[in-house]
Structure 1
């Protein structure tokens, strides 16, 4: 289906951002959802081939990943941290690994009068320049957004990821 929009915003109090800023559209087929399978933990007892108890636990962190072609220095700063000299449009990377948390929304194109919106409430962002420009390819910024718990200041745990089917609004 493809992607019609990727946007980010400031994480709310256990809820998604109240306002989002659109990113440039990603390179074709670069958006990947890497949601991990749970790991089985079982308690076996002597004399039985069936376990007494089985539970499933998260073994790895879920994340989404996408590549942005020829990003502006503003976008690079938002996704990787560092410093931007607005006067000269010069970006300098962070000396230390930055701690970047944002809400993200990904929308599909409208099909049959509806589109799907995926939202990560509290995403840990890890991004890097992953490809230098060449004769037949653009510079790429690879962005990985790890899904983290959405916990309010009062300690209430809320959902970390949603999928909505929406009708486009007039406007």
Structure 2
């Protein structure tokens, strides 16, 4: 970089200014003033450009840091959702297994009751063929059949209600996902 003093010296003139000002020629005060003004303007412009560049660098760095934070938060949320999804799948599988076992239990109980009903119906038929004195036994067996048929219907209704109200999710996972405690229905079979 050349100063105005360098430009006035004969040997220091070079570059673009050297082509415009022949060596050995002195600058007049107007020309000198214009050059000083242009030089100050150039220095100010260069300084402004450097400041703008620094500000843009700072903005870029801040945005980069913000992006890293957003990405880290997104990765954390994805990880949490994957854990919850795994729990839900596990709960669904467990619930499905429980429902299947429950259906098998109800089916076995229903088959047992149907078999008992058939046995009692056969006994009732045989008792009907017996003497009139066995009429009390017949009425007792018929009452027992009616009672067992009622229990069978109650069991079928309870099975349907249980299957309708059985949750796919255990209460812990429902509480974690929704923020409210899950409700489970106590299932009891009649004695």
Give the TM-score band, short-chain normalised.
Answer: under 0.3
TM, length-normalised to structure 1: 0.20
Q: Which has the higher helix share?
A: 2
TM, length-normalised to structure 2: 0.18
Structure with more relative contact order (C-alpha pairs < 8 Å, separation 6 or more): 1
Q: Which has the higher strand share?
A: 1
